Structure formats: C-alpha cells, structure tokens
Chains A and B, each alone.
Chain A
Amino acid sequence: MDPTPQVTTVDDIQDESGYKAVQPPRKPPYWGIDKDPARRPGVPRMRDPQPWPNTRYPPERQPGEPAVPKHGRPNKPFPPVFGTSCPLHGLSGAIKKMAYRLPDHKPTHWMLMLLGDRVESWGTRVGRAAVVALPIAALVLFVRMVRS
C-alpha cells in the first residue's frame, strides 16, 4: 500500500471549487524587499527602552472632568490624559457607572456596559419619537375634547 496521502492538486480544486487564481501567482517586483528582519520596524517586538522624540515625561495632569470613569481594578492610577466626549448621563449613565465600579477582567463589567448601551439607544429612540408623538397625541386629545 502506498503510504503517501493523496494530495489534492491545484487543478482538482480549480475544477470543483471556488479556487479563483486566473493566472499563476507571480511574485511582484518588490518581493522580498523586507525579507531581512532588520528592515522590519517591529522587530524585535519590544526594543530597548528609549523615549520617542519630543516626549515630555511624565505628562502633566489634564485639568477638567473625564467622560470615562476609571474601571474598578484597585490601585489603578487615573491616567493623566483622557477623553471628554459625551459624559455619562441618565439611566444608561447610572448603569455604566455601576459597570465601571467592576474591574475590566470581570465579564459582568462588560455585560452591564452592553446593557447600558441598549438602554441609551432605546432611551434616545423613545425620546426622539416622543418629540413627534406627544404633540400629535395632545392635538388629537384637544380636537376630541373640542368636538365633545
């Protein structure tokens, strides 16, 4: 018995499947230009410590209120720079604040966050619909009252 496993050829695959190379693959002119790992900027992954040009370290603390609470891992320092877009508000904000009290390695942290997202999304939809629906409802009620 021939122990060599039967190998599917490219032709077999082309015949029966979605193999779509319309021409044999050609190596492009730039082939191998970064073959030498020394030309690859990310090798080694962790280089010897060296600050980036124009770095002022440690950075000053940013004034103002962050839009993001610190997640709940004890001893995590609050970073000196943070985003300030769209602060937490309302019921979704309360749920997310609860989520941020938990550390980010707890799945509950993320589940509560997703719940907060859905509450915000539906709350916004209901709020926008109410802007249209409430005046119409009031008008209908008023007309009915006048007629009666």
Chain B
Amino acid sequence: MRALTYDGPYRVKVRNKPEPRIEHPQDGIVRVTSAAICGSDLHLLHGLIPDTRIGSTFGHEFTGVVEEVGPSVQGVGRGDRVMLPFQIFCGGCYYCARGLTSSCENTNPATDVGCGIYGYSHTMGGYDGGQAEYVRVPFIGVDAEKIPDDVEDLDALPLTDAFSTGYQAAEMCELKGGETVLVLGCGPVGLFAMWSAWAMGAGRVIAVDHLDYRLEFARNWLSVETLDFREVDIVTAIKGMTNDRGADAAIDAVGCEAAGSALHRAVGIYMKMEAGSPHALNTAIHATKKAGIISLIGAYGPPYNLVDIGTFMNKQQRMNTGQASVKRYMPRLLEHVRAGRIRPRQVFTHQLPLDRAPEGYRMAAQKRDGCIKVALLPNGTLH
C-alpha cells in the first residue's frame, strides 16, 4: 500500500509499505478515506518529538471504512463508515472508565505520560498512522464512532482531533457566561476553540496570530476580535482592552513551535535545550487576569520548558490541561454538525491525494497559499 513515511527532520515521502494486519483479537483494519495533516504533525516533521523513527507513518486524524475486524470485536463490522479518535484506548481501565480516554493505561509501554496515539512517534506507542491507504485500529469496537449517513467525511474528520481538542480547550476555561477569552493561535484547533467559546457563552473572544490570512479567516468565520502580535505587544493590548486586568481565560492553541520570541526559538527549536518554544504559554500567563484560568491544549514535548511559573504562581492562576478525550465529545459535536451550527470542513483549505502529501506538509509548515488545514485523500474517494 502507499503510505507517508518519515525520512528524518523536515523530510517525508510517500512510499510502498506492507499492508497492516490484525495483530490482536480486538483489532480492525480500516481503509482510509480522508486523513488530515495536524499542526502537531509538524512537531514530528521538525524532529521535536523524541523517538520519531525513520520509516514510521504519521496521521492521527482520519476517517475510513472498516475492511476487516478481529474475532473479539463487537459493535462495528466490515463496511461501516467510521471516524477514529486520535488516541488508542481500551475502554475499561481506571482512566478510560472515568472518561479520560487520553490517559488509557493499556496501550503505551514507552511512557507513563500518555496513551498510544496513531502515527505520533514511538514515545506514543509506536503505532503507524492514517496517512496511508490502510491502518491498523486497535480496540476498534470501543474506539470507532460510526459516521451518520448525512455527515460528509470532511465534516467528520476534524472531530477526530482538532474540533474535539478545541472544544475541550474552551470547556477547560470553565465559562459561566460573559467572560473574555483570549485564544492564542488561529490554526484549526484555535479556530474550533473560538467557536466553542462562543457556544459556551463567552462575552468576548480575542484571537492572536501573526499571519494576516489566518486572522482574517478568524474574523470572517467566527466574528472574533483579532490582534497581530507582530504589530502590538499582546499583554499590553489585552490589559488595555480589559480594564487593565487581563483576559478571564486564555487558551494556548499553539504549542511548542510558537513564534514571537527569538530567544525561545533559538534555545528550544534550533538548539533543543528546552522542548520547543513556550512563548505562547508565557504570553497566556501574562495576559490572563489574576485568578484567571489558562487552558493549555497546545502540544509540548518532553522533558521541560522555560515557563514563567513564578508569575503563574503569584497571579494565583489555575491551569487546566490535557489531550482531549475525543470519544466523549464526538456525539455532542456530531449534533452541532447535523444541526448546521458549524461546518467543520471549512477549515480544509486544501485537499490533496496521498502522493502529494509532502507538498501538503511543506504548505502547512511554511503557511503558504493561505493554508489553514490540509486533507489527504488516500483512496481518492469521499462520502
């Protein structure tokens, strides 16, 4: 089969690989119909996630059709259209049973930090991802969510990560209604976090980025206020806009490749002396009011970052964090999609066949051609 393969930092290629097979009685094999390139795939591409092995296949956001299931699988069968949460979870361990599927204890030997994730390095379990024609799906009966007939693949695809993650980011702001929410980053997760903040009753949503086309997209699609950090000091501006106090809550939807600080980029991204640049997180701490909430959803690699923890402590802030436990959000987000409250496919500015995936990665990494998000179509067909 054709599959995207990692070739070392900054290089990916589409090659032939052996097709996946059932390796566990609860496995399934899915023929991938759509797979997205996520912002966090770029952290892998840039060599920021430890134990990303050459030859592995990326892709943790995908939809597909079930081709084969193992003998112990219940609930899904051959021919079902499904979307898969980006994490692999067993459904019954301590954390899964309590709803925190992203902390499953049964799918990742490499670390206690998180569960197995498709195509996200061997630190996250060593599973191949969905930017391929076929993919192995452990616990398919538990993890897969069937896609209703009236929902198109590209509307379902962001629910597997970006939309669920954005929704959880807003949920972690603990909004009661009327708050000012600062969203750092106008990528797909940031955009979905803005949508979700409105849905949860935010009084004001302020978006920050440095790419004009992304700021314009946020304004046009979500009617939010926008600030360009190249042109204005964000902390000063936010305090100025909020009675000198700061936002009630801030969402870091950027993660470890934040622009805006030459120091952190040099130390973290180029010299690898810290795990990427924590500039967005530090901005969130300074731009949020005292006793406010920081919602950290951007991805950071191990082992540590130069985070302004003293300011965080002195300002009596709280931080809510965590990979989204996607499966719990899918039914509610499907309701929003089916009710026409959002068309998630609008973030896909580009759709490419799998063989052009390297071009998609370059476009996404260099933010060229107005790229918000790229969808790959490994089998050339969509529902």
Contact = CB atoms under 8 A, between A and B. Distances in A.
Given A21-B225, A79-B108, 18 more contacts: A17-B232, A17-B237, A19-B227, A21-B224, A32-B200, A35-B199, A35-B200, A48-B98, A52-B327, A54-B141, A60-B72, A68-B126, A82-B108, A84-B23, A85-B57, A85-B122, A86-B122, A104-B113
A125 B7 CA distance: 9
Interface string A109-121: 1110110110011
A16 to B, nearest CB: 8
Contacts of B175: 35
Given A59-B139, A117-B47, A42 B168 contact: yes
A5 interface: yes
Given A70-B109, A85-B56, A117-B47, A104 B302 contact: yes
Interface string B228-272: 111110001101110110000000000000000000000000001
B47 A121 contact: yes
B274 to A, nearest CB: 11
Q: Which 9 A-B pairs have the closest CB atoms?
A: A18-B231, A8-B240, A57-B92, A83-B126, A18-B228, A55-B91, A17-B232, A35-B201, A52-B91
A27 interface: yes
B23 A125 contact: no
Interface in A17-70: 17-23, 25-35, 39-43, 45-60, 62-64, 66-70
B358 interface: no
Contacts of A124: 7-8, 54
A104 B124 CA distance: 12
A19 B106 CA distance: 47
B201 A32 contact: yes
B141 A58 contact: no
A124 to B, nearest CB: 5
User: Residue among A13, A22, A81, A109 with the most chain B CB within 10 A?
Assistant: A81
Contacts of A71: 109-112
B108 A7 contact: no
A68 B91 contact: no
A13 B112 CA distance: 46
Given A33-B199, A76-B112, A83-B127, A117 B52 contact: yes
A108 to B, nearest CB: 9
Given A18-B229, A113-B50, A120-B54, A28 B222 contact: yes
A85 B112 CA distance: 20
A80 interface: yes
17 contacts: A16-B232, A17-B227, A18-B231, A25-B223, A28-B223, A29-B341, A30-B336, A59-B92, A73-B112, A79-B105, A79-B106, A81-B90, A83-B127, A109-B303, A114-B50, A116-B51, A125-B8
Interface of B: 7-9, 23-26, 47, 50-57, 72-75, 88, 90-94, 96-101, 105-113, 116, 122-123, 125-128, 138-139, 141-142, 168, 171, 175-177, 196, 198-201, 204-205, 215, 219, 222-232, 236-237, 239-241, 243-244, 272, 302-304, 325, 327-329, 331-332, 336, 341-342
A64 B219 CA distance: 52
Nearest to B168: A42
A82 B109 contact: yes
B96 A83 contact: no
A41 B329 contact: yes
Contact of B224 (A10, A25, A60): A25
A66 B109 contact: yes
B187 to A, nearest CB: 17
B227 A18 contact: yes
User: Residue among B90, B239, B342 with the most chain A CB within 10 A?
Assistant: B90
A86 to B, nearest CB: 4
Given A10-B241, A19-B232, A47-B98, A68 B109 contact: yes
A79 B115 CA distance: 10
Given A21-B219, A124-B54, A34 B142 contact: no
A81 B92 contact: no
Contact of A121 (B9, B122, B168, B237): B9
A68 B198 CA distance: 42
B180 to A, nearest CB: 11
